Amino acid sequence: MIMNSKTLSDAINGGLSASLTAFVTQPLQVIRTSMIVIYKEGKVSRMRDIYSKILKDEGMKGFYRGLVPSLLKTTIGSAIYFACLERCKDFFHNKHIEDKLKNRNKRFKQNFVNFTSAAIARIVQTILINPIYVVKTRYEVVGFKSYNSIIDAFIKIKRDEGYGAYFHGLRQTLVKDVPSSAVFYLLYEFFKRTYTHYFDINNLQFLASLSSLTTNIILIFLTNPFDVLRARLQFQHFSQNAHHKYKGIVSGIYHLAVEEGVRGLCVGVIPRFIKKAISSIIVWTSYETLKLKSQKQRDLFMQNNKKSDFSLKD
């Protein structure tokens, strides 16, 4: 059975935990996307300048441009990710994968399962939501008005650019997100164990917040160049900037470094860090809480069923 009650529960928990995040962090995402795409065109690349430009040109509502596709991308994406993550972990457990790694210690086996499960979950999620990601990125650029609605966006992308446009930036996203997601979950579980063991932190919410924040600090600076490429490629059809025409990942990173230097590689990193810090704390704290609650409900349900079966036998 592909979908069972636990998988559905994990998907719902993941979706719910992410929906609030999208609304809270959307202004930061709009600022960041505009910083990346407008960079070197209008010489408006600083966070403060982008903030002022949005406020002047569009008012407060400008900070929530692209909110609907962002909600769809975040909610659906998180539901897919967490459902696949837990499903993969259960699969490895049921197939006794850890037992088959006979010559490895227990910690390595746990890390292997966490790393592999997170990588598979991110691959599935990234491929399925990339079309929404493309629409979301374009909506978030300050002054962009080419689409009347999300449906209109999908129609025009197919008509003007072909089906391939739905997957612009997919390779860059996979290269960035799959390894970083796998490493994130591995480090997230590592820091949970570390904070519990060495600092005696047992509060689930605080533990999830601290572990996710620590992990994000490490990964954000390592993956930002790939995110710059991804955003620019997804907006490339409308860009008038010749510097933003990239042929591949390696050449793209090279041109970023040569043409724009450290500033180009790190453009948008501050709003990304703030957004990631907020969203990661909300998502992982909410998910861990909802997951624990769901597990308790399933355990209680199983106990009641056993009692009922026992009574019937009597």
DSSP state of 201: -
User: What pLDDT was estimated at residue 229?
Assistant: 87
User: What pLDDT was estimated at residue 120?
Assistant: 95
The more confident residue out of 31 and 13 is: 31
The more confident residue out of 137 and 296 is: 137
What's the rounded Cα separation, in Å, for the pair 73 and 130? 8
User: What pLDDT was estimated at residue 164?
Assistant: 93
Query: Beta-carbon neighbour count of residue 255 at 10 Å?
Result: 17
Most confidently predicted of 19-33, 35-49, 197-211: 197-211
Confidence of residue 155 (pLDDT cuts 50, 70, 90): very high
Confidence of residue 232 (pLDDT cuts 50, 70, 90): confident
**Could you tell me if 78 and 14 are in contact, meaning their C-beta atoms sit under 8 angstroms apart?**
yes
Task: Tell me the mean pLDDT in the region 235-260.
Answer: 79
What's the rounded Cα separation, in Å, for the pair 306 and 314? 12
Task: Tell me the mean pLDDT in the region 19-24.
Answer: 80
Q: Is pLDDT of 62 > 50?
A: yes
Whole-number Cα distances in Å, 36 to 115, 170, 261, 293: 30, 17, 14, 40
Per CATH, the number for 5-297 is: 1.50.40.10
Q: Residue 128 burial (CB < 10 Å; 0-12/13-18/19+)?
A: middle
Got the DSSP string for 266-296? Answer: TTTHHHHHHHHHHHHHHHHHHHHHHHHHHHH
pTM attached to this predicted model: 0.73
User: What pLDDT was estimated at residue 5?
Assistant: 66
Lowest mean pLDDT among 115-119, 161-165, 233-237: 233-237
User: What pLDDT was estimated at residue 310?
Assistant: 53
User: What pLDDT was estimated at residue 153?
Assistant: 93
Q: Considering just the CA atoms, what is the radius of gyration of the chain in Å?
A: 22
User: What pLDDT was estimated at residue 276?
Assistant: 82
How many H helices and E strands in the chain?
A: 11, 0
Tens digits of residue pLDDT in 72-103: 988 899 889 988 998 998 888 877 666 666 66
For 239: left if phi > 0, alpha if psi spans -120 to 50, otherwise beta; the answer is: beta
**Could you tell me if 135 and 147 are in contact, meaning their C-beta atoms sit under 8 angstroms apart?**
yes
The dihedral through the CA atoms of 127, 221, 137, 279 has a sign that is positive
Q: Which residues contact 192 (CB under 8 A, 6 or more apart)?
A: 207, 208, 211
Q: Which residues contact 32 (CB under 8 A, 6 or more apart)?
A: 268, 271, 272, 275
**Could you tell me if 292 and 204 are in contact, meaning their C-beta atoms sit under 8 angstroms apart?**
yes
Confidence of residue 42 (pLDDT cuts 50, 70, 90): very low
In single-letter form, the type of residue at position 314 comes to D
Residue 96's SS3 state is: coil
What's the rounded Cα separation, in Å, for the pair 255 and 232? 13
Q: Give the domain ranges of the chain.
A: 5-297
Task: Tell me the mean pLDDT in the region 192-216.
Answer: 91
